[in-house]
Amino acid sequence: MSQLETKLTERMPVIFVGHGSPLNAIENNQWSRGFAKLAAKTRKPKAILAISAHWYIEGTFLTGNSSPKTIHDFWGFPDALYKIEYPAPGSPEIAEKIEEILASKKGMLTLDWGLDHGTWSILKWMYPAADIPVIQLSINKYLNEEQHLSIAKSLQALRDQEILILGSGNIVHNLKDAFDQKRAGSEKTPDWAKRFDEAVTHKLENYQTNSLLTLSSTHDGKVAHPTEDHWLPLIYAYGSVEEGESIEFPIEGFDWGSLSMRTVIFGN
């Protein structure tokens, strides 16, 4: 019997994490301490399926590596960040099973990726032993939000096999504004960022799917997300749960003024 054939009576929760700056991977701060506490919010999974903002490409792919590499996909940061390795194993078996689930969505395995910092900067705090298999799912930049939601819904059954679905992005992510504030020595959160974060929270709490999917096209949404890469991991997390499941926000607040660090746990 394979790892994906044993159904459990209790589903794994789904987690969306606002990962923020890569520096959170090496700094002992309120965000990294919050990431470390997330592991206690759920039982230890058999595997993790991660959807990271930093694998935003032309297609729907799954990492099929048995030993995925640690990808340092950032520039201009301290040397210590580039020395981090997160040597979690992959699972070709589980990846192949997920590929079957996503066959109608044109999902395919690839060996050309590994674990980018949207994934390992969180998991190094949650599971520092790096002993849980991790598979990454790419975000296809050519799909609309309804299509991404459809993919997410097809993944719901993974939760019955002790697989933790982890989305990693930011509910508000305007890097230009964030860097401008850093250079000016200010980290004041703009009103548009607060409004968008609050609007998303309200839609999530009330499972207002249709209006959630329209938020990114509003004025505040376009300012909060000049590109969709950090927004869509939330849609994957949201789509992986059933309407009415519990929801909590173990981490809240803004970093660098314009990066919402709000983290969401569904179905705990």
173: Cβ–Cβ under 8 A, 6 or more apart, which residues?
53, 224, 225, 230, 231, 258, 259, 260
Q: Of 15, 75, 23, 42, give the one whose Cα is nearest residue 233.
A: 15
Q: Work out the average pLDDT over 142-157.
A: 97
All structural domains of the chain: 14-266 (3.40.830.10)
- Residue 210's alpha-carbon distances to 91, 92, 146, 203, 215, in angstroms, are 35, 35, 9, 9, 9
For the cut 90, the answer to whether the pLDDT of residue 4 exceeds it is: no
Tally of CB atoms within 10 A around 185? 6
For the cut 60, the answer to whether the pLDDT of residue 182 exceeds it is: yes
Least confident of 38-52, 71-85, 179-193, 240-254: 179-193
Sign of CA dihedral 115, 120, 126, 129: positive
Q: Work out the average pLDDT over 203-226.
A: 97
For the cut 50, the answer to whether the pLDDT of residue 93 exceeds it is: yes
Which string of b and e fits 101-125 if b means at least 16 CB within 10 Å?
A: bbeebebeeeeebbbbbbbbbbbbb
- Residue 34's alpha-carbon distances to 53, 218, 227, 233, in angstroms, are 20, 30, 26, 19
Q: What is the 3-state secondary structure (H, E, C) of 44-62?
A: CCCEEEEEECCCEECCCEE
3-state DSSP assignment of residue 265: strand
Distance of CA 260 to the CA centre of its chain: 13
pLDDT digits (tens, 9 = 90+) for 220-234: 999 999 999 999 999
Percentage with pLDDT > 70 across the chain: 97
Torsion of CA 157, 160, 163, 164, to 10 degrees: 90
- CB of 257 within 8 A of CB of 193? yes
- CB of 66 within 8 A of CB of 92? yes
Q: Work out the average pLDDT over 241-245.
A: 97
CA atoms of 215 and 200, how far apart (whole Å): 8
CA atoms of 210 and 121, how far apart (whole Å): 31
Q: Tokens at residue 19, please?
A: 């990962």
